[in-house]
Amino acid sequence: MKVTVVGAGNVGATCADVLATREIANEIVLVDIKEGFAEGKALDIWQKAPIIGYDSRTVGVTNDYSRTADSDVVVITSGLPRKPGMSRDDLISTNAGIVKTVTEQVVKYSPNAIIIVVSNPLDVMTYQAHLTSGLPREKVFGMAGILDTARYRAFLAEALNVSPKDIQAVLMGGHGDTMVPLPRYTTVGGIPVTELIGKEELDAIVQRTAVGGGELVKLMGTSAWYAPGAAAAQMVEAIVRDQRRVFPVCIELQGEYGINGVYLGAPVILGKNGIEKVIELQLNDEEKALLETSRGHVKEVMDALDNMSKATA
């Protein structure tokens, strides 16, 4: 098995490190545009192999996609973080251009690869990669839900003073402020979370999850990388090992939940073919309303990308 990670920044390098440490692929190729950057990160990860005890080979290349040929899975983390004075449209335009160029190279050398998008704004970058690749939605999707649920579960574990291993949860919708929490589907060792924590405290945890990325930016001055990188690696593992894990991922909905053509987080079964099945939950009226709000927000950003594309056509 061969996995490529595009972007050797904090998230991409963390993803590659987790993939190697867990021996998820025989070969992991790290790609970046900055001369020597990916080579250095990959070499550092490889030199850790004798210490930790793994044999996955990591190699780095500078903008040479021929070295990624015949990858089974490609993780795209490329893109710029939003900087002071940069509008949302500026970020969309810049990162869409990067994701488009990267996706073209990925498909050229690995036409059968499954593509996982991590670049932000996540939902619309998944849209861009899907458009550019021409691949079916089952093979091009985004990582957001695993990260969001991990934050949610971590906060719950802290509040309840229990192991995060015992907490299962589902979140839907867009990545960010309009994500849709589903406390009805949250359990602790099989016990509904609503039996263990009060509504007010649970609502506060849900709100903290929604702005989880922003909390880290305020603390560190930059975006998170350990959890996002590990989340992307977990998706790769489910595919490579055909685990058929149930994860929330960003996918183009095609009628599910009454939504068409919008990229939103939804629970799926993830296996060797990518998305094996989209799971439709029976949402109540309140949850449906929240999902519709999230849909509207993501569609607005997708429309912004479409308008930019028309303007430059």
CB 34 within 8 A of CB 249: no
Report the length, in residues, of the chain. Answer: 313
DSSP bridge pairs for 249: 266
CB 246 within 8 A of CB 268: yes
**The one catalytic residue among 139, 153, 175, 295:** 175
Query: What SS3 class is residue 225?
Result: coil
Longest dimension (CA), the chain: 55
Tell me the DSSP string of 15-32.
HHHHHHHTT--SEEEEEE
Query: What SS3 class is residue 174?
Result: coil
Q: Is 130 a catalytic residue?
A: no
Beta strands in 173-308 (DSSP E): 180-181, 187-188, 191-192, 245-254, 260-271, 274-278
Return binding residues for substrate. 82, 88, 120, 151
CB 8 within 8 A of CB 80: no
Return binding residues for NAD(+). 7-12, 32, 95, 118-120
Provide the angle, in degrees to the nearest 10, between the axes of the packed helices 226-240 and 145-160: 120
Return binding residues. 7-12, 32, 82, 88, 95, 118-120, 151
Radius of gyration, CA atoms only, the chain: 19
Q: Please name the residues in contact with 108: beta carbons below 8 A apart, sequence gap of 6 or more.
A: 65
From 67, 21, 81, select the one nearest 225 (Cα to Cα).
Answer: 81
From 227, 105, 247, select the one nearest 168 (Cα to Cα).
Answer: 247
Tokens of 14: 């963390």
Residues carrying an active site annotation: 175
